[in-house]
């Protein structure tokens, strides 16, 4: 039987590309904030032990969350980068809940359309070096030159687009993020830190609906998808 997992949701960023004037995770999606919709995916799920949300220092919006006092939801103050926030979350879980070698999930605050089916696929994955949700590239993928011209066409049969959740043993992930930070390695997701220390995580097929809300048009797409999924 699969052991219930903790979920870390880094939500300390401001989402500058959204140009909303406030953190994008607090934009409205079908009547609730994006962050509240994201948290709702994991609430009361039998395979989820708890949800840990990393908030920005001085966050003025969380106090209005519908999950503010929920028994499964805890919060902490995140860092300046995603890596910093996740490291702080892992330390919190170790100190407060004795989470060590157990796997944890890390999920983007701005991916509110993760389905229960996709979630269960990655939770049930048992690869010893972890796993990520991802989808195979469908479009032709180009590599550019330094001058911004087409350099070559990549073989899309070997290209996958990473999503979240990503699942790794907590202590191994903490060590990889710390090492990557010490070597000034650019970390765009947790998997990139694990790759840096030589891991080869499993690719678990995700879903195209599991989009990340980054740009204004993404919110329109998310609204349309939400109406179809619910």
* Residue 138 pLDDT class (50, 70, 90 cuts): very high
pLDDT in tens, 57-81: 999 999 999 999 999 999 999 999 9
Count the domains in the chain.
1
φ, ψ for residue 47 (rounded to 5)?
Answer: -95, 5
The whole-angstrom distance between residue 92's C-alpha and the CA centroid of its chain comes to 17
**Quick check: 107 pLDDT over 70?**
yes
Q: Which domain holds residue 14?
A: 5-229
Whether the predicted pLDDT of 155 surpasses 80: yes
pLDDT of residue 134: 98
Which has more confidence, 13 or 160? 160
CATH code where residue 45 lies: 3.90.550.10
Examine the pLDDT at 1 and tell me if it is beyond 70. no
pTM of the model: 0.95
Place of tokens 């349309």: 224
Between CA 70 and CA 52 the distance in angstroms is 11
| CB 97, CB 74: distance < 8 Å | no
**Looking at residues 90-113, what average pLDDT do you find?**
97
Mean pLDDT confidence for 212-220:
94
Query: Looking at the predicted structure, is the pLDDT value of residue 189 above 80?
Result: yes
| pLDDT (0 to 100) of residue 14 | 72
Closest CA to 163 of 99, 230, 208: 208
H helices within the chain, ranges in order? Answer: 34-40, 82-97, 116-123, 170-182, 190-196, 216-229
Task: Give helix 82-97 / helix 170-182 axis angle, nearest 10°.
Answer: 140
Give the per-residue pLDDT at 19: 64
Cα separation of 52 and 3, whole Å?
A: 17
CA distances to 27, 32, 61, 146 from 21, rounded to whole Å, are 10, 18, 13, 33
């Amino acid at each position: 039987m699969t052991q219930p997992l903790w979920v870390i949701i880094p939500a300390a960023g401001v989402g500058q590309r959204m140009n909303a004037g406030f953190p994008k995770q607090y934009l409205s999606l079908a009547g609730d904030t994006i962050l509240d919709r994201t948290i709702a995916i994991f609430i009361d799920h039998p395979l989820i032990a708890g949800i840990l949300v990393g908030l920005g220092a001085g966050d003025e919006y969380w106090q209005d969350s519908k999950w503010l006092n929920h028994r499964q939801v805890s919060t902490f103050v995140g860092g300046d980068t995603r890596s910093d926030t996740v490291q702080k979350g892992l330390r919190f879980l170790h100190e407060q809940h004795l989470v060590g070698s157990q796997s944890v999930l890390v999920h983007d605050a701005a991916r509110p359309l993760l389905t229960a089916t996709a979630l269960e696929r990655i939770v049930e994955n048992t690869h010893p070096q972890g796993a990520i949700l991802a989808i195979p590239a469908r479009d032709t993928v180009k590599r550019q030159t330094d001058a911004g011209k087409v350099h070559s066409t990549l073989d899309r049969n070997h290209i996958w687009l990473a999503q979240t959740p990503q699942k790794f043993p907590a202590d191994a992930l903490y060590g990889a993020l710390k090492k990557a930070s010490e070597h000034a390695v650019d970390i765009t997701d947790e998997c990139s830190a694990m790759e840096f220390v030589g891991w080869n995580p499993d690719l678990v097929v995700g879903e195209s609906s599991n989009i990340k809300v980054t740009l204004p048009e993404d919110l329109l797409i998310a609204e349309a998808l939400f109406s179809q999924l619910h």
